[in-house]
């Protein structure tokens, strides 16, 4: 299963707000982008908007493809 690409868009944000998000992201061991996404999901959830859980990218190496080299 492949993860669909994320939508990229420019965001203009107050520098003080960005700094606060950056500090919160560091505390949660997240990137700023992941923190913004998390905060948006939390805000939508509080408003009663239901979202599908995000599809996570698979981590690690892809499975090794089997070859016919074992016969040699």
pLDDT, tens digit, 9 for 90 and up, residues 14-69: 999 999 999 999 999 999 999 999 999 999 999 999 988 877 777 788 788 877 66
4 is a domain residue: no
Number of compact structural domains in the chain? 1
The pLDDT score that the predictor gives to residue 63 is 80
**Number of helical H runs and strand E runs in the chain:** 2, 0
Higher per-residue confidence, 72 vs 65: 65
2 is a domain residue: no
Could you tell me if 33 and 21 are in contact, meaning their C-beta atoms sit under 8 angstroms apart?
no
Higher per-residue confidence, 4 vs 69: 4
44 is a domain residue: yes
> 25: domain range?
13-49
Question: What pTM value is reported for the model?
Answer: 0.68
């Amino acid at each position: 299963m492949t993860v669909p690409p994320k939508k990229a868009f420019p965001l203009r944000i107050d520098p003080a707000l960005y700094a606060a998000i950056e500090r919160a992201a560091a505390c949660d061991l997240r990137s700023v982008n992941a923190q913004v996404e998390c905060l948006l999901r939390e805000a939508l959830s509080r408003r009663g908007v239901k979202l599908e859980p995000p599809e996570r990218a698979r981590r690690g190496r892809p499975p090794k493809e089997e070859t016919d080299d074992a016969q040699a």
